[in-house]
Copies of this chain bind each other. A is one copy, B any other.
Amino acid sequence: MTQSRLDKLTASLRTSSLDAVVLNPGPTLKYLTNLNFHLMERPVVLFIAPGRDPVIVLPELEMPKVDLFPYKVQAFAYGEIPSEWDNAFRSAAQALGLDGKRIGVEPRQMRLLEFRHVKAGAPEADYPDAADILAGLRLRKDKAEVDAMRHAVKIAQDALTATIPLIKIGMTEKELSGELVMQLLRHGSEPEMPFAPIVSGGPNSANPHASPTERKLQAGDLLVVDWGAAYDSYISDLTRTFAVGEVDAEYAKIHKIVQEANAAGRAAAQPGVPCANVDKAAREVIEKSGYGAYFTHRTGHGIGMEGHEDPYMRGDNMQILEPGMAFTVEPGIYLPNRNGVRIEDNVVITEDGADCLSDMPREIKVVG
């Protein structure tokens, strides 16, 4: 599996203007090796150049992982003295004759830590952005990947279903978040979660990227829960919004509008249309209702091994949806300093439409 992924990458490198790519720990490295390397203060990078064995630079204490590689790699290990690390990077670049060449990078993943060592090893190389080629590799999920995502959705839904009866007025956002994480683990999520759940009530729910606080749930709050599970390196990312006791009529109204926008976004998801269509379909519902100014983000993002990846459901994105592309549909309305609503599902494009992996009820539900 990883061999064919590597072959696919080297094939696309051959038709590109790049001589190689260099990867550091993250989803693309995991996708191509099925190994777990962590981002840490000791840099790890893998150089991939067509027609050559990949070359890895890593700390000596990680050497046992080299034997686990699914294909032959050449390894250059360094010891614990940082001032000596550049030597290993220089040897790696020389082994592949990369100095002066075009080495593609993944800007969202690579840190200046790795980059400055890579550059010390190949100072005359160019380092163009290879995000498109690398994201393209993981863009169309195969059946095994979709199955893993479906399972990650099921774990997440089962976990929230088990958590809902435990929600009580007076509970803090942090407490509820901790309970939900326990339920995610109990239902089979991998311990390394895709992200810490967002649990935000009342005014905090009007901040799309809130972190759980010590604020206690109060009657009249909207409660946004944005959570996900990890299974076999693939993740889910869902959101539902609840009413804590009885809520203001306007809050019930915006919940209904967002629910309609979510349905419209999902209905627009099909092969052959641009990503923009999904965004437009959801946004139109909210704009027509007069709340357009309060839907402050794009409608969705790709999902797979990463929480946010290609393709993005933005109004300017004319990228065409193809079978296997997986993404979120998550419109929202956020009334500043008051309350907010978001409803998020995970969708995969099929040959003739789309498969929504999540099916937990979207209607407003009273909790507490």
Seen from chain A, the residues whose Cβ lies within 8 Å of a Cβ on chain B are 36, 38, 40-41, 59-62, 64-65, 80-81, 105-113, 115-116, 129, 174, 177-178, 181-182, 185-186, 189-192, 195-197, 206-209, 211-212, 296-298, 301, 307-308, 314-316, 336
B113 to A108, Cβ gap below 8 A? yes
B residues less than 8 Å from A116 (CB atoms): 107, 129
Q: List 7 extra interface pairs beyond A41-B108, A80-B314, A112-B115, CB under 8 A.
A: A64-B207, A65-B207, A65-B209, A105-B112, A107-B113, A107-B116, A111-B111
B residues less than 8 Å from A129 (CB atoms): 116
Dominant secondary structure of chain A at its interface with chain B: loop
Interchain CA distance A321-B61 in the complex, whole Å:
26
Cβ 8 A contact of A336, one of B64, B113, B192, B301 = B64
Interchain CA distance A65-B208 in the complex, whole Å:
10
A110-B111, A110-B112, A296-B60 known; A196+B185 contact, CB < 8 A: no
Interchain CA distance A149-B190 in the complex, whole Å:
26
B residues less than 8 Å from A65 (CB atoms): 207, 209
Cβ 8 A contact of A40, one of B115, B192, B308 = B308
Residue contacts A-B, CB under 8 angstroms, 10 given: A36-B211, A40-B308, A80-B315, A80-B316, A107-B113, A110-B111, A111-B112, A112-B112, A181-B191, A192-B196
B209 to A38, Cβ gap below 8 A? yes
**Which residue of B is nearest A62, CB measured?**
B209
Interchain CA distance A107-B81 in the complex, whole Å:
17
B residues less than 8 Å from A105 (CB atoms): 112
B316 to A81, Cβ gap below 8 A? yes
A185 to B190, Cβ gap below 8 A? no
A365 CB to nearest chain B CB (Å): 23
A83 CB to nearest chain B CB (Å): 8
Interchain CA distance A301-B40 in the complex, whole Å:
12
Interchain CA distance A296-B38 in the complex, whole Å:
18
A27 CB to nearest chain B CB (Å): 12
**Which residue of B is nearest A314, CB measured?**
B80
B residues less than 8 Å from A212 (CB atoms): 191
Interchain CA distance A242-B43 in the complex, whole Å:
30
Interchain CA distance A8-B64 in the complex, whole Å:
43
**Which residue of B is nearest A310, CB measured?**
B41
A302 CB to nearest chain B CB (Å): 10
B residues less than 8 Å from A110 (CB atoms): 111-112
Interchain CA distance A260-B108 in the complex, whole Å:
44
A111-B110, A116-B107, A296-B61 known; A178+B191 contact, CB < 8 A: yes
Interchain CA distance A207-B185 in the complex, whole Å:
25
A99 CB to nearest chain B CB (Å): 19
A191-B196, A212-B191 known; A41+B308 contact, CB < 8 A: yes
